[in-house]
Structure 1
Amino acid sequence: MNRLTTTPNQVPTRQIFRCVAAAAVLQWLSQPPLALAPVAAIAIVPWLMIISISNAPSRRGYWTIWGVGAIYWLVSLQGLRHAHPAIYVGWFALAAYLSVYGVLFVAITRRMIDRHIPIWIAAPVSWVGLECVRNYFATGISAIMLGHTMADVAMMTQIADTFGTYGVSFVLVSINVAAFTALNAWRRRNDESSSVHAPWVMSLLVAAILTVATLIYGTYRLGENRGDELATFALIQRSEHVEYVPDEEREIRIFNNYVRQSLQAVSAAQRDVDAIVWPESMLSGGRAWMIADKDATPPEQFGGSLDEFQLAIDYQQTSFLTRIQDVQQALAAASPDHKVPHLIGGCGVVRYRDIPHAYSGIVHVDSDGELADWYGKTHLVMLGEYVPLVQWIPGLQSILPPGLGLATGAGPKRMMVGETSFAPNICIETAVERVTVNHLSQLHAQSKLPDAVITVTNDGWFDDSSVIDHHLRCAQLVAVGCRRPVLSAANNGPTAWIDSNGKIVESLATGSDGAVIATPLKDPRISNYLFIGDWPARLLALISLILLVDAFGCWWRQRRARRSGAGPSSLGVRDEPLGTSET
C-alpha cells in the first residue's frame, strides 16, 4: 500500500484555518465576479491538504472548517441581502447550511481513504455526491457548483449534455487531485526515509484521460451543425426598482416603462419580431390574470353570488386582454412591417377554487390578442415565495412581507409562437438545474419536446451583485444539459440569448435598459441527460451518504472507547499516514 502524507502529527487548528481559507479564496476567484476559470484547476487543492493529514482534525478543526466556509458563502451570496431586511436571516441561515458541505467533504473523503479507496476516486465521488445532495436537500440550490467555473469554456462544458454540471465538476476535482498528488510527491522527493510515494502517476493519468476525453467530446459537439432559424424574440430588460410591498401605481408605471422599451426594441430591430418577452411579474401592471373554476367559492369580501362572481372574473379577463391588445397594436405600428407580436411575460395568476390560489406565472397572449396559455411556477423560492411551517409558528406571518404564500404550478408546459415551441420557466427554475431538465424530460416523454426554453426572472432584488452572474451561469449549463437554446428576459439582468452549446450569443449589462433580439437555431440533438437524468450523481450521493454513516459509526465507537480509556476520539481518525492504492 502506498502512502500520501503531509505530517504524522496532529495538525494545529491554525494550519487547518490557512488551508480552508486558501480554498475559500481560490474558489471565490474562480467564480464571478472575477471568474478566473483556470484557478478552478487548483481551487480544491487546499481541501485535499486537510484530507491528507494523518490524524483527523479535532472538533475545533472541524468548527474552523465550518466557520471559514460560512464566511465564503456569505461573501459569495451577499447579493441576497438586498432583497428585504427579513432576508438577512435567510442569508445567514443559507451560508451556515452550505458551509456544512465542506465539513462533510473532508469527513467523507477521509473515511473513503481509510477504506483504501484511492484519493483519485474518493475526492471526485464525495465532492460530486455532495453537490447532488445540495441540489435536492431543502428544495435544492445549484448555484456556485464547481462545474459552473467552466461556463465560458465551451469545450469543457459539452459533457453536461450527458452528466449535467456534475460531470464538469467531476473532471475538475480529478484535475485538482492530480495537481495535489504531484505537488505532494515533489515535496517529498528527497525524503529517503519514505519507502513509498504518493499515487501521483495514477492521479495524473486519470485526470489526463478525463480532460482529454472531455475536450475531444466538446470539440466534436461544438462542430456539429444545427438546424434552421426559429422565431425571433425580443427579450426586454429594464432596471426597475422593486419592493415586496404591493403598490398598484408603481406597478402601472413599471408596465408603461416596459411598453416604451418594447416599442424602442421593435422599431430598431433589423427584422420582424414574432414575440416580445417581459421579465417576471412585469406584465401584471397592477392586474393579475384571474381564473374561476365552475364550482369556485367566491371570496367572502366579494359579497355576491357565484354567477355574479363569474361575471366579475370575465370582466377582469376582458379588461386584462384589452390592455394587452392595445400594447400589441402599438408595437405593430412601430414595427417596420406592422406585424402584431405575441406578448409573453411574467404575471401574477389567481385561480379561484374552493379557496384562492395565487401563482407566480407566465402569461402568453397570441398575435390575435387572446390568451394562448399560462404557466404556474413549479419550484418556489424558500423564504422568498413561501416560508416552511409558517402556519405553526405564532406571530411569524405578521413580520413577513406580503406574497410569501404562493401555490405550486401543475407542471411543465409547451407553448407555441408560430411554428416554434418553447417551455416557459421562471427565475430559480434555471438556478436549480434538475427542475428545467425534469421539465424537458417530461415533455419529451409526452412527445412535446420544445425547441427552446424561455425563462423570465426579476433579479432587481439583488442590485448589481454577482448573484446575477451566478444565475446566468446556471442557465448556460442548463442550455447544454437540455441541448436547447435558453432565452432569458430579466429585470436588471441577466437578459441573454444562450445557444444550445451554452455560449452567450448576446446579452445586456446588468442594470442597463435595452433589448436582445434573438433568433435561435433549432437543435435536432436530443440530450442524453434527458434520458439518464442525474442518476449517476445520485449514485455518488448514495455512496457518500453511506460513507458518512460509516464515518459517524467509527467516531461513535472511538468516542465510547475514549470514555472507557481505550483510545482517542476523533471523526475519521487514522492511525497511520493516509493510504491510497495505485491499483
Structure 2
Amino acid sequence: MTSGGPKRLRLAKMGRSDGSTGATSHRHHSRGKNVASEKNRAWKSRLALSADRQTFLLAAIGAVLLWMALPPLDVAPLAWVGPCFWCALIGRSQPLKTREYLILAGVGFAFWMAALHWLRLPHWATSFGWVALSFYLAWYLPCFIGFSRIAVHLCRIPIPAAAATIWAGLEVARAHLLTGFTMASLAHTQYRWLSLIQVADLVGTYGVGWVMILVSGCLYLAAQRMAEFHRAGAYQRSNEVSSDAISAKKLTRYVLAAGRPLMAAGVVLGAVVVYGHYRLVVHAATPQTSTVRVALIQGSQDIRLEDGEEKRERIHRHYLELAFLAARQYRDLDLMVWPETVYGGLLIDADSHPAVPPEWRAKGKTDHEFVDQLVAAKRSSQAAMERLASQLASRLILGVETVAYTGSGIRYYNSAAFVGKCSTDEVFPKSANGGATNRRDSISVSPGASEGATHHSSETKGYCYLGRYDKMHLVMFGEYVPFADEFPPMRYLTPLSTNTTPGKVPKAFSVRGVRFCPNICFESVIPHLIRQQILELRKHGTEPDVLVNLTNDGWFWGSSELDMHLICGVFRAVETRKPFLIAANTGFSAVIDATGRILSQGPRRDVAILVTEVGKSDFHSWYLDYGIIPNTIFVSAVVLVVAVEILLRAIDRFWKRLPKSKGTTRQG
C-alpha cells in the first residue's frame, strides 16, 4: 500500500507533465504553422504583380511576339500566340484604369517604332514622321483592348468573337483614317500560308486577321480553363474515388472546359483552309489566254532626298544598261516596266490654255512664244520615250516625273508613262487626264510651231507615247505637305521643294488585248484604293487583267520595308484575283499570281531582270464586287460597341442625379 502510493503519484505527475508537454508542443506547432503561412503569404505577395505591371507584361509579351512574326524575323507562328496575351487583358475581371490604358498606348508606341524603324532612313526630317505615325498607331492597341472589354463584359459576347470583330473593324479604320496605313497588319504574317489567305477573296485582308484573332481567343480560353482546373485541385483532394475514376473525371472536365474553344477554333480554321485549297485547285484549272511577255527591270540605286541632278542621271544610265541587257537576253518582249521615277527625263504636258509664268513676260517675250516653246518641249519629252521603245523593240511603262502647265499654274505628278504600238495599243479611259494620244496636242500653237514635230516619226518604228497614269494616293509629308497652298510656311516642315498633285482617275494600258492597271509606290498598301480603281475601270468596260506596281524603295536601304511592301502586293493579288507585278528599285521586284503565290522575286539591294508571261483569266473575286459588305460589318461592330458604352454611361449619370437613387456599378 505504502510503496504503491508514491509510485502512482509519480505516474500521475508524469501523466500531467506529459499532458502539459503535449499541449505546449501543440501550441508551438500551431504557432509555427501560422508563422509559416504568414511567410508563405508574404512570399506570394512579393511574387504577385500589381495591376499596372501585369498589364504591361501581358501587353509587352503580345507586342514582342507580333513584332517577331513580322519582317525582318518573320517567325509567322508567333502571330497566333501573341494576341492570346491581349485576350487575357480583355478577359480580366477587374476594370482597367486610365493609367493602364496609357501603359497599353506606350507598349503600342514601342511596337510601331520598332516595326517602322525604316521611316527614319530617307532623311533626318522623316524621323519626325516616324515618331508621329508611331504615336498615332499606338492608340489602336488600347482601343482594341478597351472596346473588346465592353463587348465581353457588358454585351456578354464571347472573347474570341468580340476580339476578332473589334480587331478587324479597327484595321478597316486604320486603312482609311489619315490617308490610310495597313503595313504590318496581323494577316501579313501569314502571306506564305496560301491555303489560309485565299479567304481574302471573300472578306479581304481584314477577314484573315479576324480568323487569326478568333483562333487566338479560343486558345486563350482553353488555356484559361485548364489553369482554373489545375488550381482547383479537386481530384487530388478526393479520397472517395479510385485513380482510374480520377483520370476519367479529369479527362471529362478537360474535354468540356478546354475542348470546346479548341473545337470551335479547329472548325473555323479548318473551313478556311479547305476553302483555300479549293480556290487553289480552281486557279490551277483556269487557263490564261492572250498572254503577254513582260520584263520587270530592277536596278539597285539607294536614294536620298538631297540627291541632285547628277544622281538622277546616274540612275537613268543604270536603268538604260539593264533595259538593253534585257532586250539582248530575252527576245520577243512585249513590255518592259521600269520602277517609279527612275526615268531620267521629265515628261512635259500642258492644258489647252496654260498659264504663262510672270517671269516669262518679264523677259519681254510673248505668250505665243511661250506656248510654242512649251509644245516643242512636250513633244521632245514624248519623242525621247518613243525612241527608247524603238531601240529596245518593246513597249514601255516608265516611272517618270511629269511637269504639267495648267491654267492655274504648274503642277507636278508622279506618273507611269505608257509607250506602245501606235496602231494597236490603247490607254483607257481615253478622256482622262494624261490620256491625250500622241500627235494630238490640245494646246493651240502658232503655224510655225509644228515644224519638226514629226521629224522623229521614222525613228520610232511605230511606237507612240499613248498616255500616263498619275499617282492618286500621295504620301503625306513625303510627296506633299497638307495645307501648304493655304499656309506656305508649312513647306518648311519638310525638305520637299514642291508639292506633288494627286491624279484623278485610274488608267488601263492595253497591250495586245491584255489590260495593265498601274499603281505607284504605297498605293498597293491601301486595299480599297486598288479595289476602287478596278471597279472604276469596269464601269468604262475596261476592267484590267493585270495589276502592276511601280515603286522606288531605294529610300529604305534594303530594310524590312521591302518585305512589308511586297506582302501588300500578295494580298492585293488575292483580293482582286489578278496577277500582281512589281517593278522596284533595290527590290523587291516580284511576279505574283492571282493566288498570292510569289512565282519569282528579285534580290535585296541588287539588280535583276524578271521575265514572265501574264494574260487574261476568268478567276473571279467576290470581295472585288462586294467587299464593302464585310468592311461595313466590321466597322459597324466597333461603332455599336462604342455607342453601347456611351449610352450606358449616360444612363449611369442620369440615375445618379435622381434623388435617393442607387446607381449600379459596371466593369470597364
Shift of 1:478: 0.2
Aligned residue number for residue 404 of structure 2: 351
Gap change, CA 1:293 and 1:164, over 3 Å in 2:
same
* Cα distance per residue 1:406-451 (max 9 Å; x no partner): 1111111111122221101101110111111111122223321111
Hey, what does 1:277 align to over in structure 2? 337
Structural mapping, 1:432-447, within 5 Å = 432-447=526-541
- Equivalence for 2:297: 236
Q: CA distance change for structure 1 residues 568 and 476 in 2, over 3 Å: closer, same or farther?
A: farther
- Relative to structure 1, the CA distance from residue 533 to residue 573 in structure 2 (aligned partners, 3 Å threshold; closer, same or farther) is same
Which amino acid in 1 is paired with 2:597? K
Letter in 2 for 1:298: V
Q: Of 96, 112, 124, which aligns to 1:85?
A: 124
The CA deviation string for residues 498-528 of structure 1, in whole angstroms up to 9 with x for no partner, is 1111110001112111211121253211211
Letter in 2 for 1:43: G
Report which stretch shifted further, 252-261 or 206-215: 206-215
- Which residue in 2 is equivalent to 1:124? 164
1:154 aligns with 2:208: no
Q: Does the 8 A contact of 2:293 with 2:335 survive in 1?
A: yes
Say whether residues 1:377 and 2:377 are aligned partners. no
d(CA) in 2 for partners of 1:18, 1:554? 30
Aligned partners of 1:105 and 1:126 also within 8 Å = yes
The question of whether the paired residues in 2 share the 8 Å contact of 1:440 and 1:449 is answered with yes
Within 5 Å, which residues of 2 pair with 1:403-442?
A: 403=497, 405-442=499-536
Question: 1:138-287, aligned counterparts within 5 Å?
Answer: 138-192=178-232, 200-224=258-282, 225-228=285-288, 230-245=291-306, 247-269=308-330, 271-283=331-343, 285=344, 287=345
Q: 1:398 to 1:329 in 2, by over 3 A?
A: same
Give the C-alpha shift of residue 400 in structure 1. 2.1
For residues 112 and 404 of structure 1, the distance between their equivalents in structure 2, rounded to whole angstroms, comes to 47
Distance 1:567 1:93, change over 3 A: farther
Contact 1:486 1:498 (C-alpha < 8 Å) held by counterparts: yes
2: CA distance between counterparts of 1:200 and 1:43? 19
Distance 2:609 2:347 in 1: 25
- Percent sequence identity is 30
Equivalent of 1:365, from 419, 439, 446? 419
Match of 2:109 among 67, 70, 74: 70
How far apart, CA to CA, are the structure 2 residues paired with 1:189 and 1:220? 40
CA distance in 1, matches of 2:467, 2:328: 27
Cα shift readout 1:31-63 (whole Å, capped 9, x = no counterpart):
111212222221210110111111122222111
Q: Answer yes or no: is the 8 Å Cα contact 2:587–2:602 preserved in 1.
A: yes
Residue 151 of structure 1 deviates from its aligned partner by 0.8
Query: SS in structure 1 opposite 2:400?
Result: strand
Cα distance in structure 2, aligned partners of 1:573 and 1:200:
26
2:395 maps to 342
Q: 1:156 and 1:403, CA in 2 relative to 1: closer, same or farther beyond 3 A?
A: farther
Q: Is the 8 A contact 2:301 2:586 kept in 1?
A: yes
Aligned counterparts of 2:662 and 2:71: Cα–Cα separation in 1: 46
Q: Does 1:107 align with 2:107?
A: no
User: For residue 353 of structure 2, what is the aligned residue in structure 1?
Assistant: 295
Query: Amino acid of the residue matched to residue 417 of structure 2?
Result: V
Answer with 212-221 or 240-249: which moved more. 240-249
Q: Secondary structure at the match of 2:616?
A: coil
Q: Alpha carbons of 1:312 and 1:562: their partners in 2 closer, same or farther (altered >3 Å)?
A: farther
- Mapped contact 1:296–1:306 kept (Cα < 8 A): no
Asked whether the 8 Å contact 1:298–1:305 carries over to 2, the reply is no
Write the letter of the residue equivalent to 2:335.
A
Match of 1:94 in 2: 133
How many Å apart are 1:386 and its aligned residue? 1.6
User: For residue 372 of structure 2, what is the aligned residue in structure 1?
Assistant: 311
Residues paired across the two proteins, number: 553
The question of 1:489 aligning with 2:583 is answered: yes
Partner Cα separation in structure 2 for residue 227 and residue 88 of structure 1: 47
The 3-state SS of whatever aligns with 2:599 is strand
Aligned to 2:25: none
Select the structure with the greater relative contact order (CA < 8 A; seq sep ≥ 6): 1
Provide the rounded CA distance (Å) in 1 between the counterparts of 2:664 and 2:304.
51
SS at match of 2:301: coil
Q: Which has the larger radius of gyration?
A: 2
CA contact under 8 A between 2:551 and 2:584: conserved in structure 1? Answer: yes
Conserved 8 A contact 1:56-1:573: yes
Runs of 4+ more than 4 Å apart: 191-194, 196-202, 391-394, 552-564, 566-570
* Contact 1:245/1:402, CA 8 A, preserved across alignment: no
5+ long unaligned stretches in structure 2: 1-47, 235-252, 422-461
CA gap of 1:306–1:561, structure 2 versus 1, over 3 A, is: farther
- Name the stretch that deviates more: 126-135 or 216-225: 216-225
What is the CA deviation profile of residues 543-568 of structure 1, one whole-angstrom value per residue up to 9, with x for unaligned ones? 2123124335656777999999x999
C-alpha distance in structure 2 between counterparts of 1:562 and 1:79, whole Å: 51
The structural deviation recorded for 1:83 is 1.4
Matches of 2:257 and 2:166 in 1, distance apart? 19
Structure 2 length-normalised TM? 0.78
Rounded Cα–Cα distance in structure 1 between residues aligned with 2:133 and 2:654: 33
TM-score (norm 1): 0.89
Q: 1:562, 1:26 → 2: CA distance? A: 44
Contact between 1:427 and 1:457, CA under 8 Å: does it hold in 2?
yes
What SS does the corresponding residue of 1:489 show, helix, strand or coil?
A: strand
Cα deviation, 1:3-33, whole Å, max 9, x if unaligned, reads xxxxxx9952111111111111111111111
CA contact 1:70–1:95 (8 Å) conserved in 2: yes
Please state how far the C-alpha of 1:116 moved relative to its aligned partner: 1.1
Cα separation, 2, equivalents of 1:567 and 1:255: 76
Provide the aligned C-alpha RMSD in A.
Answer: 2.7
Residue 311 to residue 33, structure 1, CA distance change in 2 (3 Å)? same
Q: Is residue 379–residue 408 contact of structure 1 (8 Å, CA) maintained in 2?
A: yes
Deviation at 1:404, TM superposition (A): 5.0
Where in structure 1 are there 5+ consecutive unaligned residues? Answer: 1-8, 332-339, 575-583
Conserved? CA contact 2:348–2:381, under 8 Å: no
- Structure number with the higher helix fraction is 2
Relative to 1, partners in 2 of residues 1:568 and 1:188: Cα closer, same or farther, differing over 3 Å? farther
What secondary structure sits across from 1:362 in the alignment?
strand
Change in CA separation of 1:210 and 1:302 when aligned onto 2, cut-off 3 Å: farther
Q: Is the 8 A contact 1:240 1:491 kept in 2?
A: yes
Q: CA deviation at 1:143?
A: 0.9
Aligned CA distance change for structure 1 residues 15 and 561 (closer, same or farther; 3 Å): farther
Helix, strand or coil for the counterpart of 1:244? Answer: coil
